[in-house]
Amino acid sequence: MNIVVCAKQVVDVGEIKVNPSTNKPVLEGIPRKISDIDKNAMEEAIRIKEKLGGKITAMTVGPPDARERIKELLAMGADEGVLIEAPENADYHLVSRALARGIEKMGDVDIVLCGEASIDMFSGQVGPRIAGHLRIPQLTYAFRLEADEGKIRADRNMGDTMVISESTYPVVVTVTKEINEPRLPSLMQILGSANKPLNEWKMGDLGLEGEAPRVTEVDLSGVSMERKNVIFKDDLDEAVNELADRLAKEGVTG
């Protein structure tokens, strides 16, 4: 199996603070990490390789410092990394095109694994767009996967129903957080990742020289939340009843 895991470097959203005077999120100095669900995609790739053999490539579109994040995926179990350098304001269209061109450049890819969405922008567009650019099938929101030689089966949670879908290869699969628990690399694996190949491609290497984003982020601001600071401190039974009444009045409970 030739597997590509698309993984995005994101800011650690738990660390973001909003500047109260400007209402703008402060992104400078915030640590970067691999988007959480992309680690689930990586874990799934490793499990498929353990079962069927093959090769895993971790592919990122991002700035040069994303190299360090790719090393984390190499330590987890990817055989090779690819960093595609793109402008920081690349839009969904450009990111997915760059990934699709990168996948085409590799040739003979069987499975492209993505997270269902990134933890920062959460558009959920990139996986399906890659499938569109490559003109191959896609299985989205998989919370269980069973890969065999000729086909892959995905269990997909649709809220009230569960859909089981199968596809032939090549295919794009987007996974949810529930699918697995990503493994932590050992010290030996972390040290060994330095010897694995990490290719760096520019947009020009993919025939995308000079391509500009078409969608522009016009504004990014924090959402302010005001707390009501209601404290129930009398008799416990009374407090519980009052709390239940209040929640019902607020429309939180029926």
Write out the residues near ligand FAD by the rule CB under 6 A. 6-8, 35, 37-38, 41, 60-62, 88-92, 95, 99, 114-115, 117-118, 120-127, 213, 215-217
Structure tokens that stand for 220 in this block: 């990014």
Alpha-carbon span 225 to 222, nearest angstrom:
9
Q: 198-236: b or e for each residue (b if 16 or more CB lie within 10 Å)?
A: bbebebeebebeebebeeeeeeeeeeeeeeeeeeeeeee
Between 2 and 35, name the residue whose CB sits nearer to ligand FAD: 35
CB of 177 to ligand FAD, least distance (A): 10
Between 62 and 81, name the residue whose CB sits nearer to ligand FAD: 62
CB of 184 to ligand FAD, least distance (A): 20
Alpha-carbon span 168 to 128, nearest angstrom:
16
Give the number of other Cβ atoms within 10 Å of residue 80's Cβ.
18
Between 122 and 232, name the residue whose CB sits nearer to ligand FAD: 122
CB of 23 to ligand FAD, least distance (A): 17
CB of 151 to ligand FAD, least distance (A): 22
Between 1 and 95, name the residue whose CB sits nearer to ligand FAD: 95
Q: Which residue is it, tokens 């491609």?
A: 201
CB of 185 to ligand FAD, least distance (A): 19
CB of 40 to ligand FAD, least distance (A): 9
Between 63 and 242, name the residue whose CB sits nearer to ligand FAD: 63
Between 191 and 202, name the residue whose CB sits nearer to ligand FAD: 202
Q: Which residue is nearest to ligand FAD (CB)?
A: 115
CB of 228 to ligand FAD, least distance (A): 33
Between 200 and 238, name the residue whose CB sits nearer to ligand FAD: 200
